[in-house]
Amino acid sequence: MPRIRLEPKTARARRRINDVRWAMLKTTGAWTNCWDILEERAAISADPRQGPFYLVAPQDAADAERDRLSRWIHATGDKNFRVAPITGKAG
C-alpha cells in the first residue's frame, strides 16, 4: 500500500492531524506521521475540482479506527495539506 506524509498548511490542518494523533495514542499507544493511500479517484462528490483525490488513513490504525480517521485529500492542490511522497522504508 503506498504511503504519503501529510504536511499541514493551515491551522485547520494542524488541528486535524492533532486529532488523529490523540486518537491513535489512545487506541494503539503509538502514532505515526505516515498515511496509507487506501483509494484514488478522479473526482469525489465533496469537491467540484478534478482530481486525483486520495482516501488516506493513518498507518497502523486499527480497522475500527481506520474508517473514522480516514479523509479525502486532493493529491496536488489540497488547500489544507501538502502531500509529500515517502520513498524507501517508511515508519
Let me know: does 58 contact 32? Beta carbons within 8 Å.
yes
**pLDDT-derived band of residue 24, with 50, 70 and 90 as boundaries?**
confident
Report the predicted TM-score, pTM, of the whole model to 2 decimal places: 0.83
The answer, yes or no, to whether residue 25 has pLDDT greater than 80, is yes
| Residues facing 43 on adjacent strands | none
- For the chain, percent of residues with pLDDT exceeding 70: 96
CA dist 85 and 47 (Å) reads: 22
Cell of 81: 495539506
CA dist 65 and 57 (Å) reads: 9
Which residues have C-beta within 8 Å of that of residue 26, sequence separation ≥ 6?
none
